């Protein structure tokens, strides 16, 4: 089981209309560029277990945790490092019960500090807030406020992830406000994942 890092780029896969080889090559490039966490997210799954196993093998070789989005069963079957849960993706208690003791469990908190506090108290490894900017992958998600990050930094002792339309150009204020991780999909995988990842990771140096 890979340990969850302290800060950096949290890259979320973009497998739609791509071959398994293309996705694995992109993830490898993102890790080489500096991504410290990979989340496997696929809303139109076909070969989800096959791809997840390939991604886990890659992540293991670089000592980078692989998080499965919204699927505790898949995470448990392949022995992934953890799972990420949105509002409608199941209960934190179920994930704690079905995954290993050291599993990484992240919870989406949108702009809701009380949800984050509850998640922390119930055993979450990290919480994610967002979206902070217009987002192609989550166009209808409610906006989060940068002040929520400031409050989270004061009130939480677990890592904080910022997500939603985040690019290297607009993300510095989020880090300054308290984000330990920047999560990105298009910003990493739309073009040249290795260089894109490097551009994000420079913000943490």
In terms of Cβ atoms closer than 10 Å to its own Cβ (0-12, 13-18, 19+), residue 17 is exposed
Q: Which residue in 18, 45, 115, 138 is the catalytic one?
A: 138
The Cα–Cα gap between 146 and 125 comes to 21
Write the CB contacts of 43 (distance below 8 Å, at least 6 apart in sequence): 16
The Cα–Cα gap between 2 and 17 comes to 29
Length of the chain: 205
Q: Which residue in 108, 135, 171, 196 is the catalytic one?
A: 108
Write the CB contacts of 139 (distance below 8 Å, at least 6 apart in sequence): none
Tell me if residue 6 is catalytic.
no
To which residue do tokens 């995470």 refer? 75
Mutual angle of helices 193-201 and 20-33, in 10-degree steps: 30
The HSE-up count of residue 171 (CA atoms within 13 Å, CB side) is: 27
Q: Which residue in 41, 54, 131, 198 is the catalytic one?
A: 41
Beta carbons within 10 angstroms of residue 18's beta carbon: 16
Strand partners for 182: 9, 162
Tell me if residue 138 is catalytic.
yes
To which residue do tokens 């939480």 refer? 156
Tell me if residue 87 is catalytic.
no
Catalytic positions, written as ranges = 41, 108, 138
């Amino acid at each position: 089981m890979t340990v969850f890092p302290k800060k950096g780029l949290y890259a979320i896969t973009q497998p739609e209309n791509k071959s398994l080889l293309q996705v694995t090559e992109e993830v490898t490039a993102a890790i080489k560029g500096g991504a410290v966490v990979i989340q496997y997210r696929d809303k139109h799954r076909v070969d989800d277990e096959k791809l997840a196993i390939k991604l886990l093998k890659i992540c293991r070789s670089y000592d980078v945790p692989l998080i499965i989005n919204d699927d505790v069963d898949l995470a448990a079957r392949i022995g992934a490092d953890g799972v990420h849960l949105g509002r409608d993706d199941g209960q934190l208690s179920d994930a704690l019960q079905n995954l290993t003791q050291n599993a990484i469990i992240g919870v989406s908190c949108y702009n809701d500090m009380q949800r984050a506090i509850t998640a922390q108290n119930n055993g979450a490894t990290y919480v994610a807030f967002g979206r902070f900017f217009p987002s192609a992958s989550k166009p209808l998600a409610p906006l989060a406020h940068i002040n929520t990050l400031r409050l989270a930094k004061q009130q939480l002792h677990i890592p904080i992830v910022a997500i939603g339309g985040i690019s290297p150009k607009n993300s510095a204020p989020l880090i300054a406000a308290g984000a330990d991780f920047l999560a990105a999909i298009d910003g990493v995988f739309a073009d040249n994942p290795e260089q894109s990842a490097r551009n994000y990771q420079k913000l943490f140096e």
